[in-house]
Amino acid sequence: MDELIDLLREGLPDEVLVTDPDVTASYAHDMASFCRAGVPAVVVLPRTVEQVQHVMRTATALRVPVVPQGARTGLSGAANATDGCIVLSLVRMDRIVEIDPVERIAVVEPGVVNAALSRAVAEHGLCYPPDPSSWEQCTIGGNIGTASGGLCCVKYGVTAEYVLGLDVVLADGRLLTTGRRTAKGVAGYDLTRLFVGSEGSLGVVVRAVLALRPAPPEQLVLAAEFPSVGQACEAVRQIMQQGHAPSLLELMDGTTVRAVNSMARMGLPESTQALLLVAFDAPDPAPSLAAVGELCTAAGATGVVPAEDAAESALLLQARRMSLPALERLRPATMIDDVCVPRGSLAAMLEGTAAIGHKYGLTIGVCAHAGDGNTHPVVCFDPADPDEARRARESFDEIMALGLELGGTITGEHGVGVLKREWLAREAGPVAMEVQRGIKAVFDPLGLLNPGKVL
């Protein structure tokens, strides 16, 4: 420990080092349940690329593991410390280096908060589309690490589609530059995409070149109430089959609707078993909203309410953004799944999840990016009750198994981390796992970067 601190101090100012055990303990884990977290030896909060390089050179020299972190809003344990590690928190590297309206790019450091970037580029008439639910807290580096999505990904795509280039500090301290600043570029292997979603296990992202888009018109939202999730999912199927391109297509099941009502008195009908929110950001969204309203009615909607203006739209979307906080109030803890299935299997996924909740006697609410088939079952439980905690974990596993049975994937946007390591092997298969381990060995031969995560 003393040798590690002494070597770190040789290249770092005192203010970026945290050694107080009470403080370092606060950096030990992200927001995931059922994920072990170790005790870090030290926390480093660098401000420069050179400081990150010094940390990695020191770690390599002493064979000390390094856990890169952002805002720790993750839900898979990917940012959890391991015993004796260096926690490398990038939150102080938070500069927006450049915004280029001609090339439609932004160059940012990893600690830039998603919402801060969105507001900055809006001043230039541009937007950065990926918008995770935690966008007011989560950082771009964390978004890149987990390949995050968001509410608007049904039309605009996920983080991976907006990362053009990266500066990455490798395990031995070398600086690797990948990708491009140009609109097109196919020179060599796509190393940029390799780092997106790697959860800090291949290198430490210290700068990113991000693609921007022209800011769209304000979206208008339609809310449709259904007596069953099956009917709501049929409406989703019809919306996509008919060629509509909503900017947002979100679903809340009845448990979630009632939880939101209880917390915020939103006035949503308590009898609603599924609430579908559909938005369009075209210059004239009225025709699309009307057509989708008809599809919802034909699928069995008992109420279809289009917003008249942006203020009403924001109120409707507030209910969706409140889903997780509302469900968290039902029990002392929650475990959030992230299973993505083909759109045609969405109803089977939601109905199967409800059956799993009934089987284990647990409250499980589901909110979903329905346009992508990405479901977020939220298992509510009391961790102080050993039997209830056991049932929560078993229900979580059954939900993931159901997703794979339906042709889906164990994670659409939250990542693997610690929580789903075993499930990754089941999904990917032995050949893919062998290849992925080989890639890990090329970038991190000593296994120092975020050990115990992903693979």
What digits encode the pLDDT tens for the residues 209-220?
Answer: 999 999 999 999
Residues 341 and 398 in one domain: yes
**Is 0.85 surpassed by the pTM of this model?**
yes
From 89, 114, 144, give the residue that closes a domain.
Answer: 89
Residues 262 and 312 in one domain: yes
The secondary structure of residue 444, as a DSSP letter, is -
Residue 259 in tokens: 């939880």
Distance CA 376, CA 365 (A): 8
The pLDDT > 70 percentage for the chain reads 100
Residues 239 and 330 in one domain: yes
Distance CA 329, CA 262 (A): 9
The secondary structure of residue 372, as a DSSP letter, is G
* Residue 226 placed within a domain: yes
Q: Into how many domains does the chain fold?
A: 3
Residues 394 and 288 in one domain: yes
Question: By residue range, what is the domain housing residue 182?
Answer: 96-214
Is residue 14 left, alpha or beta, with left meaning phi > 0 and alpha meaning psi from -120 to 50? alpha
Q: Which residues on neighbouring strands pair with residue 334, listed in sequence order?
A: 380
What is the reported pLDDT for 196? 97
Residues 133 and 176 in one domain: yes
What is the reported pLDDT for 347? 97
What is the reported pLDDT for 152? 86
Residues 31 and 132 in one domain: no
Q: What is the CATH classification number for the domain harbouring 65?
A: 3.30.43.10
Confidence class of residue 438 from pLDDT cuts 50, 70 and 90? Answer: very high
Residues 174 and 307 in one domain: no
Residues 238 and 387 in one domain: yes
What is the reported pLDDT for 417? 95
* Residue 425 placed within a domain: no
* Residue 414 placed within a domain: no
What is the reported pLDDT for 339? 97
Residues 277 and 254 in one domain: yes
* Residue 137 placed within a domain: yes
Helix (H, G, I), strand (E, B) or coil at 440: helix
Reported as a single tens digit per residue, the pLDDT across 189-230 is 999 999 999 999 999 999 999 999 999 999 999 999 999 999
The pLDDT > 90 percentage for the chain reads 92
Residues 200 and 241 in one domain: no
Reported as a single tens digit per residue, the pLDDT across 263-322 is 988 787 778 999 999 999 999 999 999 999 999 999 999 999 999 899 999 888 888 889
From 35, 63, 89, give the residue that closes a domain.
Answer: 89
* Residue 320 placed within a domain: yes
Judge whether residue 182 has pLDDT over 90. yes
Helix (H, G, I), strand (E, B) or coil at 438: helix
What is the reported pLDDT for 266? 78
Q: What is the CATH classification number for the domain harbouring 340?
A: 3.40.462.40
What is the reported pLDDT for 267? 80
What is the reported pLDDT for 268? 79
What is the reported pLDDT for 34? 84
* Residue 371 placed within a domain: yes
Residues 79 and 134 in one domain: no
Which sign does the torsion angle of CA 307, 311, 314, 315 carry?
negative
What is the reported pLDDT for 227? 97
From 62, 89, 116, give the residue that closes a domain.
Answer: 89
Q: How far is CA 99 from CA 147, 165, 195, 208, 427, in A?
A: 22, 14, 23, 12, 39
* Residue 283 placed within a domain: yes
β-strands 86-89, 42-44: how paired? parallel
Closest of 214, 108, 127 to residue 165, by C-alpha = 108
* Residue 440 placed within a domain: no
What is the reported pLDDT for 165? 98
Residues 208 and 224 in one domain: no
